[in-house]
Each structure stands twice: as structure tokens, then as C-alpha cells.
Structure 1
Amino acid sequence: MNKTLPILFAGILLLNACASTAPKPKSGDTFMLPDIPTAAAESSAIPYPDLNTMTQIERLGMQIERLEREMENTNQRLQQLEKQNKTPRHTNRKVPAQRLDDQKLKSTYLANGGTAPSEADSADQNETRLYNQALKYYQRNNYAAAAAVLKGADGGNGSESARRNMYLLLQSQQRMGNCESVIEIGGRFANRFRNSPQAPDALFSIGQCQYKLQQKDIARNTWRKLIQSYPGSAAAKRAAVSIKQR
């Protein structure tokens, strides 16, 4: 018992001595444990590179400058092409040999005292040639061939040969029974050559075709017009008989 008390007393003195040597916190200070970094904090703290606004603007500006240069080059190329197209191109084209021969013959003809045919004479000669050829087919009852030769005959320049061709075409179509063509060609012939001896016959043929196409009232009106316009013609007499019978 006597030995235990001194030892206990000595331990108490040792503890007091340690407590006195420890630093005391100042008034107002709090003791905080240090923060332990978490995984989320560490990940957010890692710096990742990203483009800032100025860098993006600089890149866009470079792209715009490149596009402007390309547009300028394209415009210059277009201007060059336009100038090339406007520039007349001189080609050394040779005159066909046939044309040279024709010119030589014409010069020789005029030098020998001949006169060059006019355009009207050339047209009449062509109309006469077509008429003679078509008339041969018509006389052989080959009306289709005659109509093919005279295809497009519309009175031309109003000459006598042009009138003959158009009326022969009308007769060929009538022989073949092409009433629509007869009505069309006959109407144009009667208007263009109204003073010709064949104009009354053309109107009578128109009335016949209109009647065949079941346009009976129109046909009667055509015949009445014929009688009124050419009262003394043989076609007018036939038209009067047709009106009475139909």
C-alpha cells in the first residue's frame, strides 16, 4: 500500500507536466480537420484544353478570306470567257466549188449579153416545173403523187403559176376524198384568188365536202354565198340545184 501511493503520485505529476508543454489554441480559433480530396474534386481540377472565342474568330476570318480569293479568281475567269465569246473569230472558209461554178457561169452569161433572171422569174419557173410534174401524175389518176409534188402550195406570190398549182392540189385532194383538206385549201384559194375563174368551183367543192361531213346547214350557207358572189357562174347554178334537192 505504501509503495503504490508514491508511484501513482509520480504518474499524476508526469501527466501535468506534458499538458503544460502542449501549445494552447488561441481564443477564437477552431480546430479543423484537413479536407480529404475526393475523386470528383480531383477530376474537376484536371485542366482540359478547349478553343477560346478569339481562336474561333481567327479561324473563321481565315476561311472567309480564302472564299473571297476563290470568288475573285472565278469572276476573273468568267470575264475572260465573256471576252473570248465576244471576240469575232475569223475563219478561212472555202467557197464550195459548185458555188464558184455557178458564179462563173453567171458571169459568162452576163458577159455574153444575157440578163440575169429575177427572183420572181425563178419562182415562176419553179412553180411551172412542179405543175408540169404534178399534172402528169394527175392525168394518170395518181392523185396522191400529184398532191405530194404540190404539197405546201399556198398561192405563193399570187402569180398565175402559183394559182394553177394550188387549184391542182385542191382537185387532187378532192379526187382522193380528203374533205378536210378540200375545205381548208378551198377556203384559202377562194379568198386569195377570188377573181379567178376557179373561185366559184372551189366554193362549190367546199359545200360538197361540208355536206358529206354532215355539216348540212353550213354547206347550204356556203352554196348561198356562192350564188350571191358569183350569180352567173356554172358553179352557182349547180349550187342552186343542190340546195333544192337537199
Structure 2
Amino acid sequence: MQLNEGKTEALLIDPQNSPNLPLSITIGQNDICFSRSVRNLGVIFDDKLSMKQQVSKICQSAYLELRRISSIRHVLTVDATKTLVTSLVLSRLDYCNSLLSGIPQQLIDKLQKVQNCSARLIFKTSKCTHVSPLLAKLHWLPIAQRIDYKMSSLCYDVVSDTAPLYLSDLLCLYVPSRSLRSSADTRIFRIPTRKKKFQGQRAFSHLGPVTWNKLPYSVRHAQTQSQFKTQL
């Protein structure tokens, strides 16, 4: 294949602002400058992996859809509004949300405000209405728990041998060096050690086991995926 320089992007990830880094990469005869952010499968990655641009894009598109639904809310039933919000707004909040694991709380709060506005729109309540009962009535998990739900589901796919290899290769079951009381638990992942907190702490290979190991024994040892999700 011939490299199309006009459509080629390169991203150099440097969370620690290291000095004297190159400004471009040479591929063949082409010199490709590093971009501040790139899009992959609809997800925006920046050179700090902060996911700020991705969260801003999600909020922007979600609020646009909420304004459109709000303009016709007076002719919609609660069920019809819930269906529209679920397909046009909630789906955006859930898309690739496992990539948002470990991001700062202020970014989670931005996404939570979108979900809160969605719940209030469905029930036509004011901005001062406490949102927790509304979320419970809709059976919606808050944003942080939705992310943990996705991470746990991916981990279950790994232990049940239904995950793709590129995920299975990232996780290792914990095998104690000697017989312990916890040896009977065959569904615990080994948490890899990180020399630097800033690097790798949000990787699936680290946060996946951390999230999974916190689950109760009965949930981790569910026989089927449907049972697992119900208990989760």
C-alpha cells in the first residue's frame, strides 16, 4: 500500500512532558509530524491520554441530542422519551467507556451531568430535583459504575475464555506460590506492579484485575454471562 501523507497521523504519547522529544517520525520517504490528538474508531486520544477531548466531544454531542428531544418532549410519552434518550444519548456515554477508567473525577462529573439531565428530561422534572431516585426508577447505573460494569464484563469474558486473544493476553490468573486459604478461588487475577504510578495505572492490564478482584466471590464465579450480569 502507498502511504497517503495527507491522511496519515502520528501520535506521540508523553504524559510527563519529557524534554527533547522528536517532533515527527519518518516512514519511508515521508516525514509525518506528531499530532496533538488523533481519532480511532470514533474515540479521540490526546498526547497526554487525559481523554479530555473525548469527554468534551461526548458531552457536546449528547447535549445536542437532548436539546432536540427536549423540543418535542411535550408530544412524547415517558416510554418514548426513554427510548430516544437511551438510543441517542446513553449509547454515546457507554461507547468505549472502559477507556475512561481512571480518569479524573471532574471528567466523570461532566458525563454524570449529562446523564442527570437525561433522567430529568424523561420525567420532566426541574434542575433542582434530586436525581438518584430518577436513576433508580430508570434502572440506570451512574457513570462511574457503568465504567466498572464494562470493565468487569470484559474480565468475565477473559475468565470464561470468550474474550479475544488481545484481551486474554493482558490478564493472568493469580496462582499462589504455596497453599493458602484463597487457593480455592480460581478466578482472581494477578495485579501487575507498576514502578511509576503515572504510567500504566489506567491500563486494562492493571485496572481490570483491580476492579474484578473487588467483586464478591459469588459474582465472579457465576456460571453464565447472563447470571453474571444480573448479579453484577
Does TM, scored on the shorter chain, surpass 0.5? no
Higher helix share: 1
Q: Which has the larger radius of gyration?
A: 1
Higher strand share: 2
TM-score (norm 2): 0.28
Q: Which has the higher contact order (CA 8 A, sep 6+)?
A: 2
TM-score (norm 1): 0.27
